[in-house]
Amino acid sequence: MRIFDPHIHMYARTTDDYEAMSLAGIEAVVDPAFWLGSPRHHAGTFYDYFEHLLGFEAERAAQYNISHHCTLSVNPREANDLALANEVLERLPEYLSRPRCIAIGEVGFDRQTEAEEEIFRKQVRIARDRGLLLLVHTPHQYKRVGVERTLRIIAEEGLEQRRVLVDHNTEETMPLFAGTEFYVGLTVYPVTKLSPERAVNIARQYGLERLIVNSSADWGPSDVLSVPKVAHLMLKTGFSRDEVERLVWANPIGFYSQSPNFKVPVGAEHLAASTRNPLRSTMA
């Protein structure tokens, strides 16, 4: 079974994680720009991070036969320093057209402040005006209020719903997407998000159309094998193999294929050969 983790922060993970993911059947990942755990104070640190995701991380993934793409943005956790966030946004567009950047993200709300809304709206407009996909982070607290506010802003800014993936949903926010064309993300992450059991129950209740599951694994208590574990649990509890493959492969492919920079993985054996990799001699 082919598996795609469409939201995972490999910047924060080890090469052992890549090996475990490959052995579990993960062939592709998307690595969104995120908060690194402490505040950044200089715009240049963002640009260095963007370069890391666009280059080194793709090369590291290829060593384990995993196709790596990224999304770039000012994350909501970093939007409250308005001077710094706006400085980064001035140069963000030059990175968005680079190969392997397939969307703007993560964007959205953390504490749901006015500064976060300002930076969110500016990035929604960049996505709209440049025809880019958008990956949206939803807040940990007051999540339903945050998702309602998020969907209202997207509507006001005129971005097509089918080009937006709204992530980190739970049982309380799923009804908000009825009758829409948004892609809806479920994050299987201990403590703060969903367990595999809750994610599978949501899939059973709401169906698989435009539903996407991910691990969002980072430097916190998280699991790079969350998506394979969901796939295994679905098979164990009565979903067909075709249904499981739709959730863990076809749906994320369907969303990200709307980006001209997205290259559909054609087979693990082609990845290392197609990716420039100066690490081969030290990591083989």
* pLDDT-derived band at 48, boundaries 50, 70, 90: very high
The number of CA neighbours under 13 Å toward the Cβ of 247 is: 29
- Quick one: pLDDT at residue 274? 38
Q: Which amino acid is at 5?
A: D
- Quick one: pLDDT at residue 37? 85
Q: Which amino acid is at 118?
A: E
> What mean pLDDT do residues 192-220 have?
96
pLDDT digits (tens, 9 = 90+) for 69-105: 999 999 999 999 999 999 999 999 999 999 999 999 9
Q: Determine if the pTM surpasses 0.85.
A: yes
pLDDT digits (tens, 9 = 90+) for 165-197: 999 999 999 999 999 999 999 999 988 899 999
- Quick one: pLDDT at residue 273? 37
Per DSSP, the three-state class of 136 is strand
pLDDT digits (tens, 9 = 90+) for 213-270: 999 999 989 999 999 999 999 999 999 999 999 999 999 999 999 999 999 887 643 3
* Residue 207 backbone zone (phi > 0: left; psi -120 to 50: alpha; other: beta): left
Average pLDDT, rounded, for the chain: 93
Distances (CA, A) of 198 to 205, 214, 227: 11, 13, 13
* Contact status, residue 186 vs residue 194, Cβ threshold 8 Å: yes
> What mean pLDDT do residues 155-164 have?
98
> What mean pLDDT do residues 11-33 have?
97
* Residue 276 predicted with pLDDT over 60: no
- Quick one: pLDDT at residue 36? 85
Pick the closest to residue 128 from 83, 91, 93, 77 (CA basis): 93
- Quick one: pLDDT at residue 8? 98
Q: Which amino acid is at 129?
A: D
* pLDDT-derived band at 149, boundaries 50, 70, 90: very high
> What mean pLDDT do residues 6-26 have?
97
- Quick one: pLDDT at residue 264? 87
In angstroms, how far is the first alpha carbon of the chain from the final one?
25
* Residue 277 predicted with pLDDT over 90: no
- Quick one: pLDDT at residue 266? 76
